[in-house]
């Protein structure tokens, strides 16, 4: 339950996922996007492709100057966040990053098994 003075964004990060920065204060309290319109980061329904690409590029420009971009990106990858621009990446870009991470982890496991067997 949220208290009246507690912003929704601060309650949205589970305590179990808190980093060292979170212990000093939630990473999102320093996010540049807190001062921008949320509509820039999330698509309206039936948005035309050209408008979506333009909006996503504008959101990425905001992310590029954000001091907590890396924390935001990792949050979106760990959750995983299925929508919006988080940490300078769109949902499709995050899916690519996650697929690459899974492939890399699988390669490491295979090479570890080969080394242990040899």
Nearest to 41 by CA among 109, 3, 74, 87: 87
* Phi/psi at 86 (5° precision): -130, 130
The annotation places the binding site for [4Fe-4S] cluster at 33, 63, 66, 72
**How far is 10 from 50, CA to CA, in rounded Å?**
33
The annotation places the binding site at 33, 63, 66, 72
Beta partners for 89? 86
Count of CB atoms situated within 10 Å of the CB of 73: 20
């Amino acid at each position: 339950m949220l208290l009246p003075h507690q912003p929704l964004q601060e309650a949205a990060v589970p305590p179990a996922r808190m980093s060292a920065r979170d212990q000093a204060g939630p990473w999102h309290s320093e996010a540049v996007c807190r001062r921008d319109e949320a509509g820039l980061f999330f698509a309206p329904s039936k948005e035309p492709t050209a408008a979506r690409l333009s909006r996503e590029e504008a959101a990425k420009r905001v992310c590029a100057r954000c001091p907590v971009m890396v924390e935001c990106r990792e949050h979106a990858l760990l959750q995983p966040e299925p929508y919006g621009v988080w940490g300078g990446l769109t949902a499709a870009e995050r899916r690519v990053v996650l697929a690459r991470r899974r492939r890399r982890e699988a390669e490491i496991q295979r090479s570890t098994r080969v080394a242990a067997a040899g």
